Amino acid sequence: MKKINSLKSMFTQSQNWHAEKKTIALVPTMGALHEGHLSLIRSAKNKADKVIVSIFVNPMQFGPNEDYDNYPRTLSEDIKKCRKAGVDVVFSPSVAGMYPDNASTWVNEEVLSQYLCGARRKGHFRGVCTVVLKLFMICSPDIAIFGQKDAQQSIIIKRMVRDLNIPVKIIIAPIKREKDGLAISSRNKYLLPEERKQAAVIYKGLQEIKNWKKNNLSVAQIRRKLIRFIQKEKDIRIDYISIVDINTLSEVSRPNKGDKLLIAIAVFFNKARLIDNIEIKW
């Protein structure tokens, strides 16, 4: 396994693989790798000849009061996990390399990013789209694999690839969960033991939706029940609970039978922000 920091070296390596008729899969990450990331890597290895894992804590997708400075950075451990998983290259560029002085070019998705996390984290998806496009240009992957936990991000990246005619196939892998259902996340490390126990209510609430739907409750009724269910835990603060159309990410009130909906949740435990979601057919 190689560890590459230089953008030029990474591009050259990718072009050499393409010259050898090798297919390339990219798994973009911000490090602090966990089982969720490793499941993406396993999927990548099944779908391509060569696997690149990028590790880059992207400052441009963090707001001024968010956790960029405290975001977990465990590069040496991440490299060990990648080597054990059979990754071919860990690409770990510097901030200065990815964002030259006086950088003034950005990638904006202007519709899907107005909802859910985008409505609360202004500029977040501009940072996401910009860094992902940069990684695509540098690593030249045939395939890129993202996780369903970040559902809005995945949908926006798919839209960017479609709109900008980027020749990369986007694959969305299922959410990996702890035994109690909590979505595995790097930010789970921020939780105190009691908060960690309470966090299990997020997925439990999402699972309850299937029972509430059988009782022919409306979207508004389901949302209210979900809010009450989650608010039973004393340390949890709801950022949003939204039921949206899977294609437009806009809120729905009266979906048609057969419509695909995304139920998305974001909550806080103190400053730790956790997200989760499920898809359902109405």
Give the catalytic positions in this structure.
37
DSSP alpha helices (H): ranges in the chain? 7-19, 35-47, 75-85, 95-98, 116-120, 124-139, 151-163, 193-199, 201-214, 219-230
In one letter, which amino acid is 74? T
Checking 164-168 for CB contacts under 8 A at 24+ apart, the result is 164/133, 166/133, 166/136, 167/142, 168/26, 168/136, 168/141, 168/142, 168/143, 168/144
* Bridge partners for 151 per DSSP: none
* Bridge partners for 90 per DSSP: 3, 53
